[in-house]
Amino acid sequence: MPTTTLTYALEKCLAEPKEVTPFEPVCLILEVPVTASSSRKCGTTAAALNEACFCVSLDQVALTNALSEQLGNPELSELLKSRCPHVFAARPVFVSPSRLRQVREVIQAIERTVSLPAWREHALDSAPPIAQHNPRRARGVFFGYDFHLDEDKLGLIEINTNAGGAMLNVLLARAQRSCCSGVVGLSPGQEWPGGFEQSILHMFAQEWSASGEQRPLTRVVILDESPQAQYLYPEFLLFQRLFESAGIDCLIADPADLAFHNECLLVDGKPVDLVYNRLTDFYLEGDNCSALRSAYLADVVTVTPHPQAYALYADKRRLVDLTNGRFLEEIGVGQQIRAVLAQYVPLTVPVGHGNAEHLWQNRRSLFFKPVSGFGSRGAYRGDKLTKRVWEEIVGGNYVAQSLVAPGERRTVADPQVRPMKFDLRAYAYAGEVQWNAARVYQGQTTNFRTEGGGFAPVFTLGEEEERAGSTEQPSHASFTFLLDETSAVEELPHPLYLALVRAEMATSKLAGKRFRLADWYVAMEDGHPSKVIREWYGWVAFDADGAYHPEIGPPENRQPNSDDKVNSTALPTREEHDRIEALLFKSG
């Protein structure tokens, strides 16, 4: 943690605003960079909030509690922390409601396109025979539609038919801590974590009944190669607990653990009803998949997601088809849907010797992906290519996609630290979005190796940015005050405060000084303060030029990185508190 921080003592940190007495016992300490502010001046757009809002962070205590509750075993909680140290991002990502509506519009346009007989015939014609096998009306669980958001541009960069991380995002949503009451709009299609879990169970029940089964679902197998060695193995355990909580027996297995005997798929000698398929062998071609393949083709087990879903949606050649306007028109896609696809799906073309020279010349604006790849394996930004790698791409089976830059999220206040990148993942079933999440990272592609990166919850700004006008509720605002060593109290306008901490300006008035900062969140009536909702206090220091400097240390009587202790020296005296109150309500 940077040494320059504000130590905020939150007397009450509740999800819903509630009037509190400012000198009640402190219940939570939050250390955040000095630019943290609950003010509506954090920004009035998603882009501004991603740049400057540090009001929400990952609550490690809440995360540990959620893990212990859902895994039921402290050792398993430690497994997640050790196996996946960078799976949870430190900050949420902000996305406007209009962007999320566009995401839903794209997904529904794709769903309608894929439903056309001509699309299915075209896609399955180039896939292995197993993809043509009727999956008994199972749709496929956990489709993941991944988008980049670059300022005013939204682009679908990939479709996954076995997207991981859904249950991890449930935990993450439960562990987010907000010190800004105006930034609480968690957006998973407007369901909270418990609702998402129920929709997951309902989705699997739908897959089971769609397969023509009348009896209750009794046993599920979560399937992956060497599952205990998988990076996201802890998520398998979360799914197992979820199924068991609904009275469904659940086992985690390797495909080699399965047996096909007497027209029945078995694991440990027990019949299997449904396979939750996490394999990246999308067409079940490996020798270790022989039992599963036989049972699937014999229609004695429900497999979800299944090979046909991959062929129809996730094969990278489908991105080529989705951006081929002439092809779409020929197969009967309507003009309105074609317009949506043209606007939000970046142009994608197959790579071959015939267009290799042209693509090489334009490589800086392209991203290259293997047709049958998954995750970020074998994917390259064009501006990072060497001639050797380019020759492998041309000789391989690749597509070239027009580059849409990822979004950016600044996670620390220091302007010298580059912001992190993020993409948006919409988890969907049958064309309907279930949950939105972001993946925060550094590097060419998404990864879970970046300090401070990983899955992040998606927050919205309310009903509509333009109408709300800020991240706060219209009836609330924040006021900041500086307290010096003489107990003098002076109001600090938020625009000036944020300009200082963002290094956009300096002021000689604050040069070389250290202050206590008071940030009061208040209810407003008719544009005037009416009552205090929440009070924050901390230390702030400025360099000799009057600018915020990230290397300035904490107050002398405070130990750096003392995350778990209250810095009582930042709290006001009763007299100082009365002066703040007089300034606040006089200003109204």
- Which residues are paired to 56 by β-bridges? 178
* pLDDT tens-digit readout, 414-429: 777 889 999 999 999 9
Please say which residue of 388, 403, 418 terminates a domain: 403
Instruction: Check whether residue 144 and residue 183 sit in a common domain.
Output: yes
Distance, in Å, from the CA atom of 26 to the CA atom of 369, rounded to the nearest integer, reads 52
Instruction: Check whether residue 425 and residue 287 sit in a common domain.
Output: yes
| Any domain includes 49 | no
Domain that holds residue 375: 348-403
Supply the DSSP string of 532-584, one letter for each residue.
EEEEEEEEEE--TTSS--TT----TTS-TT-TTS--GGGSPPHHHHHHHHHHH
Integer angstrom CA distances of residue 401 from 216, 314, 362, 405, 506: 44, 15, 11, 12, 44
Which residue would you say has higher pLDDT here, 532 or 286?
286
Write the single-letter amino acid at 331: I
| Any domain includes 393 | yes
Please say which residue of 403, 419, 438 terminates a domain: 403
Looking at residue 504, its pLDDT comes to 60
Task: Tell me the whole-structure pTM to 2 decimals.
Answer: 0.73
Looking at residue 451, its pLDDT comes to 80
Number of Cβ within 10 Å of residue 463's Cβ equals 10
* pLDDT tens-digit readout, 196-227: 888 899 999 999 999 988 899 999 999 999 99
| Any domain includes 46 | no
| Any domain includes 258 | yes
Domain at 386, CATH number:
3.30.1490
Which residue would you say has higher pLDDT here, 231 or 35?
231
Contact 399, 320 (CB under 8 A): yes
* pLDDT tens-digit readout, 35-62: 333 334 455 678 888 887 776 777 777 7
Instruction: Check whether residue 414 and residue 271 sit in a common domain.
Output: yes
Which of 359-373, 410-424, 440-454: highest mean pLDDT?
A: 359-373
Instruction: Check whether residue 300 and residue 225 sit in a common domain.
Output: yes
Looking at residue 499, its pLDDT comes to 63
* pLDDT tens-digit readout, 92-120: 898 988 899 999 999 999 999 999 999 99
Instruction: Check whether residue 505 and residue 390 sit in a common domain.
Output: no
